[in-house]
Amino acid sequence: MKLAVPKGTKDVLSIEMEKYRQIENIFSNVCKNYGYGEITTPVFEFTELFKRGVGETTDVVSKEMYTFLDKGNRSLTLRPEGTAGVVRSYINNGMTSLVQPVKLYYMGKMYRYENVQKGRYREFTQIGLEAFGSSKASIDVEIISLVNMFFEKLGISDLQLMINSIGCKTCRLEYNKKLKNYYEEYISGLCSDCKIRYTKNPLRLLDCKVENCQKVAKNAPLFMDNLCGECLNDFSTVKQGLDNLEIDFTINKTLVRGLDYYTKTVFEFISDNVGTQGTICAGGRYDDLVELLGGKQTPGIGFAMGVERLLMELESREINMTNEVYPVLYIATLGEKAYSIASKIAYELRKQNIYVDIDVSGRGLKAQMKYANKKNVKYVVVIGENEIASNKCKIKIMETGVEKQINVDAISEIIIENKA
């Protein structure tokens, strides 16, 4: 019986894997230039972490988590996002006592029980980062500029950046009251989730995907018109900072983000090429999350980007992320003695960082030449009894078909000189 992969998951084969690797390398380079160090946290954590950190009324926690009991009856969950785990790690590892801000980036698989569609999978990859310990809006600007720079390094310079502010604890209290007042008359027509949101977490009402609820949300009072003085001030710092770096943005007053922990600045980078949602990268400030998860009051900000959505974006722009490498040398062999000489030459050259291929399948000469052609090899040499006896063999430049006679014991030297 042939077994399929579970819905919403996929194998990543070598050419595709190369793209992931390149994205990771470019991202990690940009992060390092901004002073970020890499962190890896467990793929599964106690369920409680996400319930508290992401929020029980969010879609992610209420509908999308892969939660299970392990053999010791502990409730564990495959991480649906990266921030909660990094915050937990920041607290557990005493990073509060380090010089602040502490800046961490990551790349890893995330798991959500989703309706699978274009750009929406059950296992997907995120790159992202978190910065702890700065409440200044200047770090908001720095992080947005980092994302922008990363996109530019990939050859993308025209995604739409949307920003908004969803206020702090203080102005949210007032805003929630206004929101509930507004929603009061529509309550009976809302979906069952929104009825719960109304009492538990009114801000979530604005993020509902049900059509009728979206209609109601459309005319709801806007957070932007209800910010306290400090939040307003911070938001202008963000706008000015982006202007200063000449990074274009649009203010989207209805942007609230799907996770509970955000405060003040929230942002998204949007594209038309990645399916219904269009969000490639999303992030924002979370000034109460560290405390909520049991740490000292510490401001934080971060973002996460879906790598599969990013790859779709690159593909639709015909930006090639593969960096296919071809063997510099193929040594075709006839007989065991030739093979042992060839394998020694290959071993030496590989040690020198040169990609060499030899026959390990017992193919005949003709089949070996066919193989070398398929592999786009640069040079081919053939060694058999005669070549060994005379120490003379032919090296062929595959592109031009030109052949030259060289000494068998000089193969390595010649390849090292001509590898480029």
Residues that bind ligand ATP (CB under 6 A): 81, 112, 114, 119-121, 124, 126, 258-259, 277, 279-282, 304-306, 308-309
- CB nearer ligand ATP, residue 24 or residue 348: 24
Task: Tell the smallest beta-carbon distance from residue 406 to ligand ATP (Å).
Answer: 53
Q: Are 312 and 273 in contact (CB under 8 A)?
A: yes
Q: Using DSSP, state whether 82 is helix, strand or coil.
A: coil
Instruction: Supply the angle between the helices 137-154 and 14-33 in degrees, to the nearest 10.
Output: 140
Q: Which position's Cβ is nearest ligand ATP?
A: 306
**H helix runs in 331-410, sequence order:** 336-351, 365-374, 385-390
Q: Using DSSP, state whether 174 is helix, strand or coil.
A: helix
Q: Are 365 and 332 in contact (CB under 8 A)?
A: yes
Q: Using DSSP, state whether 257 is helix, strand or coil.
A: coil
Task: Tell the smallest beta-carbon distance from residue 190 to ligand ATP (Å).
Answer: 20
How many whole angstroms separate alpha carbon 254 and alpha carbon 217?
Answer: 9
DSSP E strands in 258-385: the ranges are: 263-270, 279-285, 300-306, 329-333, 356-358, 379-383
- CB nearer ligand ATP, residue 100 or residue 252: 252
Task: Tell the smallest beta-carbon distance from residue 411 to ligand ATP (Å).
Answer: 48
- CB nearer ligand ATP, residue 250 or residue 418: 250
Q: Are 131 and 300 in contact (CB under 8 A)?
A: yes
Task: Tell the smallest beta-carbon distance from residue 84 to ligand ATP (Å).
Answer: 11
How many whole angstroms separate alpha carbon 420 and alpha carbon 412?
Answer: 14
Element (H, E) at 28: helix 14-33
Task: Tell the smallest beta-carbon distance from residue 77 to ligand ATP (Å).
Answer: 15
Task: Tell the smallest beta-carbon distance from residue 205 to ligand ATP (Å).
Answer: 16
Q: Computed over its alpha carbons, how large is the radius of gyration of the chain?
A: 28
- CB nearer ligand ATP, residue 300 or residue 327: 300
Long-range CB contacts for residues 33-38, cutoff 8 Å, separation at least 24: 34/103, 34/142, 34/146, 35/103, 36/103, 36/104, 36/105, 36/129, 36/131, 37/103, 37/104, 37/105, 38/104, 38/105, 38/106
Give me the amino acid identity at 269: F
How many whole angstroms separate alpha carbon 255 and alpha carbon 267?
Answer: 8
Give the residue among 262, 255, 258, 266 at the shortest CA–CA distance from 288.
262
**H helix runs in 55-130, sequence order:** 59-63, 83-92
- CB nearer ligand ATP, residue 204 or residue 396: 204
Task: Tell the smallest beta-carbon distance from residue 281 to ligand ATP (Å).
Answer: 6
- CB nearer ligand ATP, residue 114 or residue 142: 114
Task: Tell the smallest beta-carbon distance from residue 277 to ligand ATP (Å).
Answer: 3
- CB nearer ligand ATP, residue 105 or residue 330: 105
Task: Tell the smallest beta-carbon distance from residue 136 to ligand ATP (Å).
Answer: 23
Distances (CA, A) of 29 to 15, 154, 331, 340: 21, 12, 37, 42
Task: Tell the smallest beta-carbon distance from residue 22 to ligand ATP (Å).
Answer: 18
Task: Tell the smallest beta-carbon distance from residue 382 to ligand ATP (Å).
Answer: 49
- CB nearer ligand ATP, residue 19 or residue 309: 309
- CB nearer ligand ATP, residue 119 or residue 241: 119
**Which residues are CB-neighbours of 78 under 8 A, at least 6 positions away?**
43, 44, 65, 66, 111
- CB nearer ligand ATP, residue 259 or residue 395: 259
- CB nearer ligand ATP, residue 233 or residue 276: 276
